């Protein structure tokens, strides 16, 4: 093993790993729920408190903290003046009553990895080709403001900046207003990437992200680290089912235009569509709002958020067409109208093979076990991989639980992930990707 570790730039350190676990405990206190999860939806008080803590943590270690025009948060450290940056991170925002690991682990892991690199290059000047940056992407979850992956979507030019800033939550508060109230909305671009930047900025050489798996393949197999070679594609719809408001007692069944009945038919159709394709298609209705939502009123409107996911872009297209035909049938049989108001999609694509190989080499040299795992969930790396060479890593999630308060990844797995990310970034900074 000693011979194998000669190539390691960032040798695992027990004290550094203990410090990471201590910081993770502190970070998990922001927005903590009684059941041990977190609730810190994008640009809420809990999210802002967590961001301030991270900003102080980075600043204390010599990083320059900046926000861009959609509230993405960056910690920058220059090793080679004027050189591009190796960017690493994830997101701090959570789902309502979500888990403390999803996203947040990846941000803190990137921060600790970047600081290890900073200290390494103080002792080994002249080895770096690129600079280092940590990122906390804004509104990855999409629970308060839709769509998801909003910050990285704007960053990569896949979502319009003006549209993102104007997006409102359920109370009519816009992204611009929410971020502005916490002074976390920059007026310039930090990085000159994508088609929307308006001022000179830094450039990105490559990107790395580590995340809990949100599935149970690693946990079932007893494997330490997952390397992501590709993503599932996804189609996300926001639809309105339109009926007519009336009295639940006085209105004859035959005369009703019950939007909730139509919506229920949509929910059932989604599940039946998934059953038809088996494990090759995932469908869901994750959000449903009923109006006027009174116990004695037939609903006039239901707004719903639907998604379809598959490893096959062709199958996804076929399933979407079937769903559209089902919508037409429901409109006739339930006497309602179905309006599709929004679609957020991404295709299933591969991550760069060179990045997969680099990560696997690091894992092997660290003496850890590994396997390749496709991601069904969307991540900010899903956007970044289309812009720059990108490495996506997973650590095991116990029983595959995610987006829930009982989400759990064991300490040893958290530490292994930080070690792998640190060494992977070290090689990326030296120009290996």
- Write the DSSP string, 375-426: B-S--HHHHHTTTS-EEEEEE--GGG--SSTT----HHHHHHHHHHHHHHHH
CA–CA dist 364, 385 (Å, integer)? 23
Burial label, 376 (beta-carbon count in 10 A; 0-12, 13-18, 19+): middle
Q: What is the sign of the dihedral through the CA atoms of 391, 396, 399 and 402? A: negative
Query: What are the phi and psi torsion angles at 272 (to 5°)?
Result: -65, -35
Q: Residue 336 belongs to a domain with what CATH number?
A: 3.30.70.360
CA–CA dist 367, 155 (Å, integer)? 36
* Residue 236: strand pairing partners: 307, 344
> Among the three residues 303, 328, 346, which one is the final residue of a domain in this structure?
346
pTM for the model: 0.86
On whether both 394 and 288 belong to a single domain, the answer is no
On whether both 318 and 383 belong to a single domain, the answer is no
Of the candidates 112, 118, 191, 208, which has an alpha carbon nearest to the alpha carbon of residue 425?
Answer: 208
Q: At what angle do helices 411-429 and 104-123 cross, to 10 degrees?
A: 50
> Among the three residues 346, 363, 383, which one is the final residue of a domain in this structure?
346
DSSP 352: P
Residue length of the chain: 433
On whether both 405 and 395 belong to a single domain, the answer is yes
**For residue 31, is it left (φ>0), alpha (ψ between -120 and 50) or beta?**
left
Whole-angstrom CA distances from 60 to 54, 55, 64, 111 are 10, 9, 10, 12
On whether both 245 and 358 belong to a single domain, the answer is no
334 contacts 258 by C-beta, under 8 angstroms: yes
DSSP 227-242: E--BB-EEEEEEEEEE
Work out how many domains the chain is built from and give that number: 2
On whether both 89 and 172 belong to a single domain, the answer is yes
On whether both 319 and 422 belong to a single domain, the answer is no
Q: What is the pLDDT of residue 1?
A: 38
On whether both 242 and 385 belong to a single domain, the answer is no
Q: What is the pLDDT of residue 3?
A: 38
On whether both 44 and 173 belong to a single domain, the answer is yes
On whether both 304 and 376 belong to a single domain, the answer is no
On whether both 238 and 161 belong to a single domain, the answer is no
> Among the three residues 346, 381, 405, which one is the final residue of a domain in this structure?
346
Q: What is the mean pLDDT of each run of 10 residues along the chain (433 residues)?
A: 62 95 98 96 98 98 97 98 97 96 97 98 96 98 92 94 96 98 95 72 95 95 97 89 96 96 97 94 92 96 93 91 95 96 77 97 97 90 94 96 95 98 98 93
Q: What is the pLDDT of residue 232?
A: 85
172 is in which domain, residue-wise? 4-231+349-429
Q: What is the sign of the dihedral through the CA atoms of 254, 239, 302 and 319? A: positive
Query: Looking at 85-147, which runs of residues are DSSP E strands?
Result: 85-90, 131-136
Q: What is the pLDDT of residue 197?
A: 67
């Amino acid at each position: 093993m000693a011979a194998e570790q000669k190539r390691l730039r960032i040798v695992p350190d027990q004290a550094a790993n203990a410090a990471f676990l201590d910081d993770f405990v502190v970070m998990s206190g922001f927005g903590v729920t009684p059941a041990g999860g977190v609730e810190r939806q994008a640009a809420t008080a809990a999210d802002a408190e967590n961001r301030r803590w991270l900003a102080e943590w980075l600043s204390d270690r010599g990083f320059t903290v900046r926000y861009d025009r959609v509230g993405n948060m960056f910690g920058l450290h220059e090793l080679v003046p004027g050189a591009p940056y190796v960017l690493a991170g994830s997101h701090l925002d959570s789902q309502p009553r979500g888990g403390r690991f999803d996203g947040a682990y990846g941000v803190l892991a990137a921060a600790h990895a970047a600081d290890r690199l900073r200290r390494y290059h103080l002792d080994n000047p002249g080895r770096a080709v690129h600079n280092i940056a940590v990122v906390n992407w804004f509104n990855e979850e999409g629970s308060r403001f839709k769509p998801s992956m909003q910050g990285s979507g704007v960053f990569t030019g896949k979502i319009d900046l003006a549209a993102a800033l104007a997006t409102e939550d359920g109370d009519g508060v816009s992204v611009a207003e929410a971020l502005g109230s916490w002074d976390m909305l920059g007026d310039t671009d930090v990085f000159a990437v994508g088609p929307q930047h308006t001022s000179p900025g830094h450039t990105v050489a490559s990107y790395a992200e580590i995340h809990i798996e949100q599935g149970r393949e690693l946990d079932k197999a007893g494997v330490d680290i997952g390397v992501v070679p590709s993503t599932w594609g996804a189609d996300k719809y926001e639809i309105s089912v339109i009926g007519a408001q009336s009295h639940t007692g006085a209105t004859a069944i035959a005369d009703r235009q019950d939007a909730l009945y139509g919506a229920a038919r949509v929910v059932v159709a989604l599940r039946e569509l998934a059953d038809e394709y088996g494990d090759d298609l995932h469908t869901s209705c994750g959000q449903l709002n009923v109006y006027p939502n009174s116990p004695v009123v037939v609903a006039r409107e239901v707004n719903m958020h639907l998604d379809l996911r598959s490893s096959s872009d062709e199958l996804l297209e076929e399933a979407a067409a079937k769903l559209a035909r089902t919508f037409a049938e429901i409109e006739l049989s339930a006497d309602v109208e179905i309006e599709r108001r929004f679609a957020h999609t991404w295709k299933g694509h591969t991550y760069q093979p060179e990045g997969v190989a680099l990560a696997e080499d690091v894992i092997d040299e660290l003496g850890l076990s590994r396997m390749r795992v496709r991601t069904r969930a969307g991540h900010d790396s899903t956007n970044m991989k289309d812009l720059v060479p990108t490495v996506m890593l997973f650590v095991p999630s116990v029983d595959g639980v995610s987006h829930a308060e009982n989400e759990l990844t064991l300490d040893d797995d958290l530490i292994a992930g930080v070690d792998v990310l640190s060494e992977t970034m070290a090689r990326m900074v030296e120009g290996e990707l």
